[in-house]
Structure 1
């Protein structure tokens, strides 16, 4: 019998489900995600493996409340709507799905993939996240994207018509980018679909094509001062459309925040299935860190042999939980709840922090305390890595 036939246990930690589809049409030169290019994508095999791993994970989790499903990648919009629908239906059957279950699918705005949007909506997807990255054709070419600016605009327009909620990604601090050009590009995108925006500063990641180009001086990124001004342009332009920065890289109209990503940032339980997916799960042994094998074919072989593609799960210690929860929670404008922190880590919030550094950070205007919450100010969130390195005991 499906596990959702019974109610979720009282007090069970709600669950966010992440499904990783590892395949792309091409590898972007800046990307260090677990993505792979194949001449032929073995969709039937990988659909069966994802469904099998979902079943295996549900067996040990039981009928948890399911709050969100997120199809990420790679390029999930290379999946057929039938595969997406099968995974959604099985997750609903295995878990106690919320009435307002948020189901997000990342999509690229190529003409082939955009044409599948209606199929994804029919399959149950109610939130689409479109990988625009730029509305400048020359920059799209440099970023290795497979779509044009007109295709991006068409995908946004179609997404707005079909889905109740829509998000899109943009990359800023690109080579040669000016404040005026960025403001105009951002306004154009927000005018098309102003619900949720994920904004990422272009960085040089180890092992990418861009790392080699940057090392040889063939691409030059804007300096820190220019990048900071571009970030400020983003905050002000998004605010004109009613989008607020609820997280370092994410802006939304009130009520349109990504519930799935909030599960990460609030340090909730999340299960990850598919090659390279990872999770944090409350089980009998404590909080468990899970990770699947990264290589798609090896992952699929392991699922076929043993029902899952996992390596060894590890227990997350109290100190690790404290570090992870602060690293994630201080990215949010709402900050970290001391009560929630104690419940998830087993230690009081104040015991995880250097009292001298905490006092200095508050005095300098990088952190603030209000009631139960510790939060980083906008200035603090821009310096979060350095701040946490000094703050954590």
Structure 2
């Protein structure tokens, strides 16, 4: 039985290392040309998790997520050590979802078997594209054959599997995306993450885009890609439950739902963010993003926190609005009211309903329509004003 969001408690572990930095990526990831001292990182994670454990006693962990970076660069013994560190501080539910992100280029059969033996029961593969030219353009280290082999191996070893694809890539046509997604759906398991390429500030792609050397679809064409994606996945039995995430009913990522449903989660490791509840309310945490400086900070202080502040009720309510409206289920208006101490303005809701951006569900939920999801930032800004 899956607990309601109010009782979910997730742990996010950030492994910040990658074999290479992708040109579109603005995540906290770092390339090291010498072997990483994994034992030192396990020790630091253990110390930081113990601090979080002191602040959140009695919780039951319902999901654990190894994100990055590239967690599949870790040895299985490192994953096992981190899972033991979590279990040393909280009870881990017998049916906890334990996800590890992996790149096809770092997949080895024995390593995957080691992750499974350590307790990982869900893998998220960064496939990103299904043709070699696109993979090279995206800076990926794997090819199509390796991606398909990794998916097949993961299907054999893990109860649950998701993989990522990026669409609306430079030069990609709707016809090409239809063909690619059709193929992806034939070997998908129960979950897909499908992201529209965005140009993130500070990345190599941003510099190329600024110089006119990288052209991506404009807003109208991007909306066509998005609409096609929704239609095809729904028809295949993996409808969207969040802007970029699609699953068979019941196979949604429980960990990510904890974020989107305003649940509680610990974030440990370099650059990890968390939201934990203390005696005075909900606290936002963030750790030092640079891996070696994070190690030094943990060695000195027992934790790597650089942000540790109480959220106001207004900030909490805004977060619930931003995250919750990403979901196709929307948000409960009564829950928002209780959290913010005020309701959302009926006039603003009515205006957005009239323009087809949101709808009011009979159950009392506010739901973004497909048109609203396509411009969600504007919808949220209007509601929160």
Report the TM range for the smaller structure's normalisation.
over 0.9
Q: Contact 1:111–1:151 at 8 Å: present in 2 too? A: no
- Match of residue 315, structure 2, among 295, 320, 323: 320
How far apart are the structure 2 equivalents of 1:65 and 1:247? 25
- SS of 2:229's partner is helix
Q: Report the TM-score, using the length of structure 1 for normalisation.
A: 0.93
How far apart are the structure 1 equivalents of 2:337 and 2:9? 19
How far apart are the structure 2 equivalents of 1:92 and 1:340? 32
Q: Contact 2:121–2:158 at 8 Å: present in 1 too? A: yes
Residue 381 of structure 1 pairs with residue 381 of structure 2: no
Residue 180 of structure 1 pairs with residue 175 of structure 2: yes
Deviations, residues 216-253 of structure 1 (Å, cap 9, x unaligned): 11110012222211112211221232101100110000
How far apart are the structure 1 equivalents of 2:80 and 2:6? 26
Partner of 1:369: 360
Q: How many residues align?
A: 379
Partner of 1:390: 382
How far apart are the structure 1 equivalents of 2:276 and 2:238? 32
Partner of 2:195: 200
Q: Report the TM-score, using the length of structure 2 for normalisation.
A: 0.95
Which runs of 5 or more structure 2 residues have no equivalent in the other structure?
A: none
Partner of 2:17: 23
Q: Contact 2:284–2:307 at 8 Å: present in 1 too? A: no
Q: How does 1:27-46 map to 2 (within 5 A)?
A: 27-40=21-34, 41-46=36-41
Say if 1:161 and 1:387 are closer, same or farther in 2 by CA, change over 3 A: same
How far apart are the structure 2 equivalents of 1:275 and 1:264? 19
Deviations, residues 181-214 of structure 1 (Å, cap 9, x unaligned): 1111112122112311111111111110111111
- SS of 1:256's partner is coil
Deviations, residues 327-379 of structure 1 (Å, cap 9, x unaligned): 00011011112343345x2524x2xx333221111122211122221111111
Partner of 1:307: 302
Q: Give me the CA root mean square deviation.
A: 1.6
Shift of 1:13: 4.3
- Match of residue 279, structure 1, among 274, 280, 286: 274
Shift of 1:123: 0.7
Which runs of 5 or more structure 1 residues have no equivalent in the other structure?
A: 1-10
